[in-house]
């Protein structure tokens, strides 16, 4: 996995896992790798993966069955899409609109 320079690693891993869920590689209610398995796979500190899983658990994207492992929530896809739509509208779209205004691009020019 390639990491970029800006976001904390635990969030970058979380984004990557969300992409796996959206892309259908990981299905709802499926068991996902353990903290240690994923740490080994990525060569990342297990405590970092633990933070990723805590984060995804607080967003209700995954859940923990005690003694069994972590699973994808039933509603995971919808939860991720809602969160990402929100983020796009609040953070990314304003930047795009600003740049378009700067370059004098009219929305009708780019809308297909």
Partner 1 sequence: MLKIENLNFSYSKHEVLKEINLNLECGKIYGLLGQNGVGKTTLLKIMSGLLKPKSGVCNVLGYNPFKREPGFLQELFFIPEDFVGPDIEVNKYASLRGAFYPNYDGFKFSKLLTDFEVDGRSKFTKLSFGQQKKAIIAFALSTNTKLVLMDEPSNGLDIPSKSQLRRIISQASTDESCIVISTHQVRDLENLIDPIIILDTNDVLVNASVEEISSKLKFEFRDTPDKEALYCEPTLGGYLTVNRNETEVESKVNIETLFNTVLMNKKTIKQIFKK
Beta bridge pairs of residue 62: 72
Task: Tell me whether residue 44 or residue 76 sits nearer to partner 1 (CB atom).
Answer: 44
Are the beta carbons of 83 and 91 closer than 8 angstroms? no
Note whether 83 binds partner 1 by CB under 8 A.
no
Note whether 36 binds partner 1 by CB under 8 A.
yes
**According to CB under 8 A, which one of 40, 64, 86, 87 is a site residue for partner 1?**
40
Note whether 43 binds partner 1 by CB under 8 A.
yes
Alpha carbon 22 to chain centroid distance? 9
Binding part of the chain for partner 1, among 19-27, 33-41, 64-72, 92-100 by CB under 8 A, reads 33-41
Give the Cα separation of 56 and 48 in Å (integer): 13
- The minimum distance between CB 77 and partner 1, in angstroms, equals 26
CB atoms within 10 A of CB 21: 23
Give the Cα separation of 96 and 110 in Å (integer): 12
Binding site for partner 1 (CB under 8 A): 3-9, 11-12, 36, 39-48, 51
């Amino acid at each position: 996995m390639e990491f970029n320079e800006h976001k904390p690693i635990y969030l970058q891993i979380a984004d990557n896992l969300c992409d796996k869920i959206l892309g259908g590689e990981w299905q709802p209610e499926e068991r996902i790798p353990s903290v240690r398995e994923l740490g080994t796979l990525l060569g990342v500190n297990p405590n970092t993966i633990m933070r990723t899983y805590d984060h995804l658990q607080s967003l209700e994207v995954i859940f923990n069955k005690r003694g069994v492992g972590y699973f994808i929530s039933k509603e995971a896809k919808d939860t991720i899409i809602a969160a990402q739509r929100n983020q796009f509208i609040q953070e990314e779209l304003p930047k795009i609109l600003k740049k378009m205004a700067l370059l004098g691009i009219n929305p009708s020019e780019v809308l297909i």
